[in-house]
Amino acid sequence: MQPLSAISLHHKRKLIVSFHDLHPGTMECCARFLQRLETVGVPRASLLVVPNWYHQSPIARNPELCDWLQQLDHDISLHGYAHRAGHRPEKPVEWLMANIYTAGEGEFYKLSVPEADMLLFQGLELFRQAGIQANGFIAPAWLMENEHIPIVEKAELSYCVTFKHIYDLKRLETLYAPVLCTTSRTRLRRALTRQVVSGLARKHRNEPILRIAVHPVDFQWPEIEHFIFRLIEQCLADREPTTYQELVSHQLFEGAGKNHSAEKQIKVVGKETP
């Protein structure tokens, strides 16, 4: 198989913009973001929809959001079930991940396969009731276990995604795709995040696939919103916008394995770096 870097010489570098945590309470924020996104040259984004936000908002009970999502020409991902972690990690490092890194939102982190399978099924069932078609699955905070990948494939979704990788479940390929994501939860984070993300953008500027992920909380702060759009415009200077679904739909990566089972290890294309 050709390495990703060799194949990508024939293709323009890609940029995926994703809006996380879409639910009835963030629909207006998302709509405003998509409008502005289009004006800077990104016609489609990947939207991460939570089917039952904090167990309080089953999506089918919100016809306005369902109607809106059904008529949108964007890529829709199932983003967990309730976006709340229900398990109680016992090891210190797991406790830190569950409570500090994700603020209690690492819903699929350290879940057993049957538990993950059940949550995935319940989330897709809520989507089905709402008439919404998901193309892929992205766990809250990008935290899922390798053992969860086959159940996403079994659910006939096209991709799943972690902090470093995009898993193409049709070709069973793993694509290295770093993500740039501001963090706006605290004053300290807001003070540091632009510098950190700018540094990462420089570090990853030659990667074939780069992602920019935004969260509704980012738009409470004009300086963060301004930074995000400037970053998107800078990336568009030498990248073309795409979505997760478009990326895995196109025959971009020739020679990918076919007729494999996800039980086998998915091959890593591109480099493995932090």
Residues in contact with Zn ion by the rule CB under 5 A: 20-21, 140
Shorter beta-carbon distance to Zn ion: residue 36 or 84: 84
**Complete DSSP assignment for 177-203:** --EEE---SSHHHHHHHHHHHHHHHHH
Nearer to Zn ion, 210 or 213 (CB): 213
CB 143, CB 102: distance < 8 Å: yes
Q: Minimum Å distance from CB 140 to Zn ion? A: 4
Query: Hey, what are 158's tokens?
Result: 């096209």
CB 206 within 8 A of CB 12: no
Q: Which residues have a Cβ under 8 Å from the Cβ of 219 and sit 6 or more positions away?
A: 29, 32, 33, 225
With CA atoms as reference, report the closest residue to 28 among 18, 38, 36. 36
Which of 23, 239 has the CB closer to Zn ion? 23
Least separation in angstroms between residue 257's CB and Zn ion is 31
Q: Which is nearer to Zn ion, 8 or 26 (CB)?
A: 26
In the complex, least distance from residue 258 CB atom to Zn ion, rounded to whole angstroms: 32
Min dist. Cβ of residue 138 to Zn ion (A): 8
Residue 221's CB is within 10 A of a number of other CB atoms, namely 15
Residue 21 CB, nearest distance to Zn ion (Å)?
Answer: 4
Smallest gap from Cβ 38 to Zn ion, in A, equals 23
Nearer to Zn ion, 21 or 225 (CB): 21
Nearer of residues 87 and 260 to Zn ion, judged by Cβ: 87
Q: CA 227 to CA 193: how far, in whole Å?
A: 10
* CB crowding 112-121: b at 16 or more within 10 Å, else e: eeeebbebbe
Q: Hey, which bits of the chain come out as E strands?
A: 13-22, 46-49, 75-78, 136-138, 159-161, 165-168, 173-176, 179-181, 209-214, 239-242, 267-269
